[in-house]
Structure 1
Amino acid sequence: MMSAGFVNILKLCVGADSVEDLLDWHRTHPSPFPTGERRHVTRMWPKRDVEILAGGSLYWVVKGLVLCRQRIVRLDEVQGADGILRCGIIMDPEVIRTEPMPRRAFQGWRYLEPGDSPRDLPTARTGDDSLPEPLALELARIGLR
């Protein structure tokens, strides 16, 4: 199998019950950057940082399903109030919805190979028939979609 040359990160989206909750959080918490990037601070610096920066995204797990991603643009050192250096994952502000993919809860973050990552959902077009979101999510939860 050929390598894509990059790797993604998988992270729980704690406190969000839906992609809309994440989007609402973005609307109500202004970005600290003039260009609008979003930052998520995590305790550990990834050992595969070069691969992440070669095109990786942060895939968000919401209520047991991977539902969206944000492209990672850089990793910054962030010093906490306790003096400990942490990793600031700086992401593009655009949230891209993905096909729902079940994922069990875990601590911290995990690497996610491109071949194991869910595909992006197409942007809706007028006249498209699609399943109602609650039905599509439930089908994904039980492994039928």
Structure 2
Amino acid sequence: MALHMIKLAAGAESIESFTEWQQHVMQQRRAAGLSANPVHETRMMPKRGAEIINGGSMYWVIKHKICLRQRIIEIERVEIEGAPKFCLIHFDPELVPVHVKVKRPFQGWRYLKDSDVPPDISPSSPAPADTPIHLELALKEAGVW
């Protein structure tokens, strides 16, 4: 079974603003002659990286809610002389909406337990994929969904 990660989408106000930010990152990488896949830079190298790249995803938290996931395709250690080591997490560009789940604030990234992974939103989901996040949360809180 794949191991997943969770990370706050710092600065993102909505799924749309997060999507725009990722598009910007991909444009910058293309212009620099690099792979167009989006990346995230982090200081800490995941010790369980082999488990993550074997089908794992990054679950993105926007405004205290897990909203999206993105498949992790590579974890790269970067060492530049005279600079601290860091790690680049490479993603598949596809952002997959998931059923919203409230998440308390935390710092950095964390591993995500299978029991905490929200399901993807698909055509067979109990509500249409375009259900606003606030409505989905209200339905869940009311016990309707």
Q: Does the alignment reach a TM-score above 0.5?
A: yes
Question: Against the structure 1 CA distance between its residues 28 and 56, is the aligned structure 2 distance closer, same or farther, given a 3 Å change threshold?
Answer: same
Report the Cα offset of residue 53 of structure 1.
1.2
Structure 1: 4+ residue segments shifted above 6 A: none
Q: Which residue does 1:60 correspond to in 2?
A: 60
Q: Which residue does 1:39 correspond to in 2?
A: 39
1:67-82 correspondence to structure 2 within 5 Å: 67-79=67-79
1:1-145 correspondence to structure 2 within 5 Å: 4=1, 6-29=2-25, 30=27, 32=29, 35-79=35-79, 83-122=83-122, 131-139=131-139, 142=141, 144=143, 145=145
5+ residue gaps, structure 1? none
Report the Cα offset of residue 28 of structure 1.
2.9
Question: Against the structure 1 CA distance between its residues 18 and 123, is the aligned structure 2 distance closer, same or farther, given a 3 Å change threshold?
Answer: farther
Which one has a larger percent helix, Structure 1 or Structure 2?
2
Aligned AA for 1:41?
E
Three-state SS of the structure 2 residue aligned to 1:89 is strand
Question: Against the structure 1 CA distance between its residues 31 and 45, is the aligned structure 2 distance closer, same or farther, given a 3 Å change threshold?
Answer: same
Distance 1:36 1:28 in 2: 10
Q: TM-score, length-normalised on structure 1?
A: 0.81
- Superposed CA deviations along residues 64-90 of structure 1, whole A, max 9, x for unmatched, are 000001100001123469611111000
5+ residue gaps, structure 2? none
Q: TM-score, length-normalised on structure 2?
A: 0.81
Three-state SS of the structure 2 residue aligned to 1:16 is coil
Asked if structure 2 preserves the Cα contact closer than 8 Å seen for 1:16 and 1:22, the reply is: yes
Number of equivalences: 137
Question: Against the structure 1 CA distance between its residues 31 and 122, is the aligned structure 2 distance closer, same or farther, given a 3 Å change threshold?
Answer: farther
